[in-house]
Structure formats: C-alpha cells, structure tokens
Amino acid sequence: MISGLHRPTKLVIDRQAIKANIQQEIQRLPQTTELWAVVKADGYGHGMVAVATTAKHAGATGFCVAILDEALGLRQAGFTEPILVLGITSPEYAKLAANAHISLSVGTQDWLAAALPVLQSDNVTASLAIHFAVDSGMGRIGFRESAALQQADAYLQQHQEFNLEGLFTHFATADEQDTAYFEQQVAAFQQMRQALASEPRYVHVSNSATSLWHDACNGNMVRFGVALYGLNPSGAVLQPPYPLQPALSFTTELVFVKQIQAGAAVSYGATYHAQQAEWIGTVPVGYADGWQRRLQGFHVLVDGQYCEIIGRVCMDQLMVRLPNKLPVGTKVTLVGVDGSRTITLQDVATYAKTIHYEITCNLSPRVPRVYLPEKSM
C-alpha cells in the first residue's frame, strides 16, 4: 500500500519507550531466563523491523512471529537471532525454514511425518528446529494428550532431520483476576511436560500477562508482546508491577474548517444534525487508515481540547465539532498527549468495545510511521 507522505497524518513511535519497557522486564527476570520480543503483525502495527532493532538493543535475545513470512522478513533485514513462528506452518515449507534457521511450532506427529520427506530432499543445510505446542486449555493449536506428545517425541529421536528446541503453551486468562482457569492450564501443561524423555533448550509459557502477574511460571524464556509496546495486556483490570510507557501516538491536522447552521447534516446517512450554529473541522483520517466507523461519537484532541467525532467516519476523512473557529493546520491528536489532556489506546478500545491490540493492528500502512530515536544508556 502507498504510504501517505504528503498529508499531515502520521504515527509517531517512541523507540525509547519500547526500550524502557523491555529493560524493566528484563530486570525482573532471572539471569537464566531470556526475553524474546513478539513482533508479529508488523510489530502490533508499530513496524516490525524498527521494533525488532530496538528490542535487540534493549536486550531481547530472540523474536516471535505469527507466520513464516514475518520470520523471513526479519532474516532479510539482517537479524541472526533465534526466531520462532508461533502459528502452524505448512510442512511443505520445512526446508525453507530449516535453511533460514527459523524454528517452527508443531502440534501433531502427522505434521512431522509430512515434513520429513521435505527435509530429506536435496539442499537442506540444517536440521529443522521445532517447538512442541501444548494445548493446555487455549483450544487453538497443540498436543492435547500426553501419549500423543510422547509418541511425537519418540518419532523425533528416530529422525535427526528435526531438533526439538522448545516446549510451550499459551494461557487464555493470564490477564484476569480470577486465576482458577489459569491454574488449571498450568497443571495441564506440567502434566504434559512429563511426557518428554528430556527437556528441550526452551520451556516457555509466558506471554506479557503471564510474565507480569504470574512470573513464577516463566520457564527459561518469556514471549514479551503487547507490554513491549507500553500497553497493559489486562486493559484496566490488573495493574502491571511497573509503569508501562506507551510507544505510539497518532496525530494529524485540520485540513478544512467551516461553520454550519442549526439543522445542517454532516457525513453519510445524515446521522448528525447541528443543534445550533457550529464550527466543524475536517480531519484527513478515515477507516482506510484504521480509524473505524464505530468511533463515531468518540473524540480527538484539537488544540488541547476534546472534540467529538460527528457523523459517520468516512473512508479517508472524519469531521469533528470544534469549540470555536480554529485555523487550518491546527494539530489534531487521535492518540497521545496534547496540553493537559490525553487519549490512550485503551480509551479508544473501550469506546469501540474491543481491545487495544485490535486498534493498533488495524492501523493501515497508509499512515507513515515516524520513529523517535533511542537514548543512549
């Protein structure tokens, strides 16, 4: 997608905030526990390569992604650290992953059997590192029975084409106050763990929420995701043990200002009618940029003042009700700080009845990412 370099709209990513979030977490970890940065979905919308670079500088020793192409993108960008693909990759790409030294998640012995002839073909330069996924209650991917995991482990020992590098699971409720289901998953994982003849290099269960609030479960590697970006994985339910620094702000400018009279309608469907004479500002952001239609009625900051989004959000523009006439070019803040007021990604997500993960991942590549530099330590 074309990036909109010739309009005033931009995402500003504070790399120092990312660095600080990672370093605060590393300080809490035992020296034997590594932190791998989760940079999937283009770094949760923040920019995969830039985030990975900052994470490496901050002390991350590996990376987690969702799909093989993201891992290949990191390799092409010059990263040599371990990379784990958390999702299921087709066995037909086993050779590609092995040759690029990319670790894959595996949840069935059938996958191993399908990948074996691919790895036995010509031009395979390394064994394939795999992490066994355990479905301890997430219901997504992974082994669900100890016997199946044990059989797959025995299969690996017969085939040197594979290297069992890790064992992991994912918790469904680590960010909630009620820990009953979390504890049930912990017990299920520990039972499955006993099925292996010997433990692999990495045993990991902790996403951001688990590491923040259940660090006794960390194992020897943490998959540090949304907290890396300064976002609370629990929303507003639980508070992290240290202040997270949000890394993203979203700004633009007023591009058109006009006064309308009482009764005049604004935007598609004429869902908004002015109650009196009003000053209206047009903002060059729409749902094609990831600012969804359901944010009608929410607000932005203009000149440090809350201004309501009126009428339906259009594909490329939205309109706000201004407190008075303001000049074209006045700064508009959709996420971030302006004066004494702040709009957080959690504020946006709460209004949209979703989570901040979805908001950031929906921010379009059409919006340029501008990176503030890291500070030397």
| Other CB atoms within 10 A of residue 158 CB | 9
What are the DSSP calls for 327-348, one per residue? -TT-EEEEEEEETTEEE-HHHH
Whole-number Å distance between alpha carbons of 192 and 146? 5
Whole-number Å distance between alpha carbons of 232 and 240? 7
Whole-number Å distance between alpha carbons of 129 and 165? 6
Which pair of structure tokens corresponds to residue 87?
């999702």
Residue among 44, 229, 268, 351 flagged as catalytic: 268
Residue among 19, 40, 229, 371 flagged as catalytic: 40
For the chain, the maximum distance between any two Cα atoms, rounded to a whole number of angstroms, is 79
Would you say 132 and 152 are in contact if contact means Cβ atoms under 8 Å apart?
A: yes
Would you say 119 and 98 are in contact if contact means Cβ atoms under 8 Å apart?
A: yes
Whole-number Å distance between alpha carbons of 211 and 36? 12
Would you say 313 and 291 are in contact if contact means Cβ atoms under 8 Å apart?
A: yes
Residues 6+ apart with CB under 8 A from 61: 34, 35, 36, 81, 82
Would you say 42 and 74 are in contact if contact means Cβ atoms under 8 Å apart?
A: no
Residues in the chain: 377
Active site residue 44: no
Annotated binding site for substrate: 140, 315
Choose among 17, 107, 108, 2: nearest CA to 58. 17
> Edge-to-edge, what's the strand order for the sheet holding 62-65?
202-204, 162-169, 128-134, 103-106, 83-88, 62-65, 34-38, 221-224
Active site residue 268: yes
Annotated binding site: 140, 315
Choose among 3, 362, 357, 361: nearest CA to 208. 357
Q: What residues are labeled active site?
A: 40, 268
